[in-house]
Structure 1
């Protein structure tokens, strides 16, 4: 696969999705140490490698200031990750947004660039591993906003609920394998055990 250099990509905004409550972790996972920094800073750095601007989707609580990124709060409360994506799309003043969960530190920036490179002609580009999509490591076009808004207004909080209404490009495992082991790249750090295992 031939990728565009980041400088040739359409203007994009990168969003770190960090609005969760970290209940299973027992502490704010975004601020956990990782590779000499924090999970939040690690996510921001990977997005900065492919995006001209980065923002933080912080959920309902004003937090994470001082990281050199605009912090966006959910407009629709208690809507889970879809509420975060909605907030990001509302603030999107360019064509494309790259969304990355703060708890997926093994996703390489090269993969984020590859998702962007596949966005032409689609509203969303999403990795799929073992038949399961990874909707918080994805590119969403501003054209997704109306579909997301309709689903939220209907009370449907499922991350993939709006996909039937937009053009989705699935990036399958054979394509993902160019960037690492697909089974490993998207592992979430949800519990202290997950965190310690990946740290080790």
Structure 2
């Protein structure tokens, strides 16, 4: 059986309320995080899209392709479902835009250990041992499962992973899965990344 093509999705449609500014527009590596994350994904995916709210689509930097959410008000799950609506036959490597520590090596570990026969391949969170839905390869078969769970009232992608047949990997560098959500965390991350 053919392995589904792997497309990339940068989740950048959040409201960044705790950060008080758009997390996708922050610069940690010389580019904004939407560009940096898309560049990481482009090393593994022939096509990379940036998941945005419809009102953000015109605000993307040149070179990035937006994928406006069609499932509104669902947070990250809305971005994943919108990606599957755009191409239900692809697998989607999904990354949140607020992961400035994530490196190519960790992504390569995820892609190399991908299990296409399962619903998803993901990392175990180093903080709570649960699956990390925002650094995950979602296979095409997960689309129906996500819609089914949504119909039951569940919009948490982590719960979908917990209740499904997934490949759960230990992250090679756990600290790389640390997301940055507040101005204080941003200041600490900037300091660490310049060392």
The TM-score, its normalising length taken from structure 2, stands at 0.86
Task: Give how far 1:127 is off.
Answer: 0.3
> Residues of 1 paired with 2:181 and 2:146: CA distance?
25
> Residues of 2 paired with 1:68 and 1:92: CA distance?
20
Q: Is 1:19–2:9 an aligned residue pair?
A: no
Farther-moved stretch of structure 1 (28-37 vs 113-122): 113-122
Farther-moved stretch of structure 1 (161-170 vs 97-106): 161-170
Task: Give how far 1:197 is off.
Answer: 0.5
Task: Give how far 1:114 is off.
Answer: 2.1
> 5+ unaligned residues in a row in structure 1: which ranges?
1-8
Q: Is 1:129–2:125 an aligned residue pair?
A: yes
- CA-based RMSD of the aligned residues comes to 2.0
Per-residue CA deviation, residues 13-34 of structure 1 (Å, 9 max, x unaligned), is 1100111100111111111122
Tell me how many residue pairs correspond in the alignment: 185
Per-residue CA deviation, residues 109-143 of structure 1 (Å, 9 max, x unaligned), is 22222222222322201100341321100101111
> Residues of 2 paired with 1:37 and 1:62: CA distance?
18
Structure 1 residue aligned with 2:102, among 102, 107, 118?
A: 107
Q: Is 1:44–2:38 an aligned residue pair?
A: yes
Farther-moved stretch of structure 1 (26-35 vs 151-160): 151-160
CA gap of 1:129–1:107, structure 2 versus 1, over 3 A, is: same
Structure 2 residue aligned with 1:169, among 167, 174, 183?
A: 167
The TM-score, its normalising length taken from structure 1, stands at 0.84
Per-residue CA deviation, residues 136-192 of structure 1 (Å, 9 max, x unaligned), is 0010111111111122223211112333664200002xxx22xx3x0x111111011
Task: Give how far 1:60 is off.
Answer: 4.4
Task: Give how far 1:11 is off.
Answer: 3.0
1:146-157 matched pairs, under 5 angstroms:
146-157=144-155
**Contact 2:35–2:64 (CA under 8 A) maintained in structure 1:** no
> Residues of 2 paired with 1:164 and 1:34: CA distance?
32
CA gap of 1:143–1:157, structure 2 versus 1, over 3 A, is: same
> Residues of 2 paired with 1:117 and 1:96: CA distance?
14
> Residues of 1 paired with 2:161 and 2:189: CA distance?
31
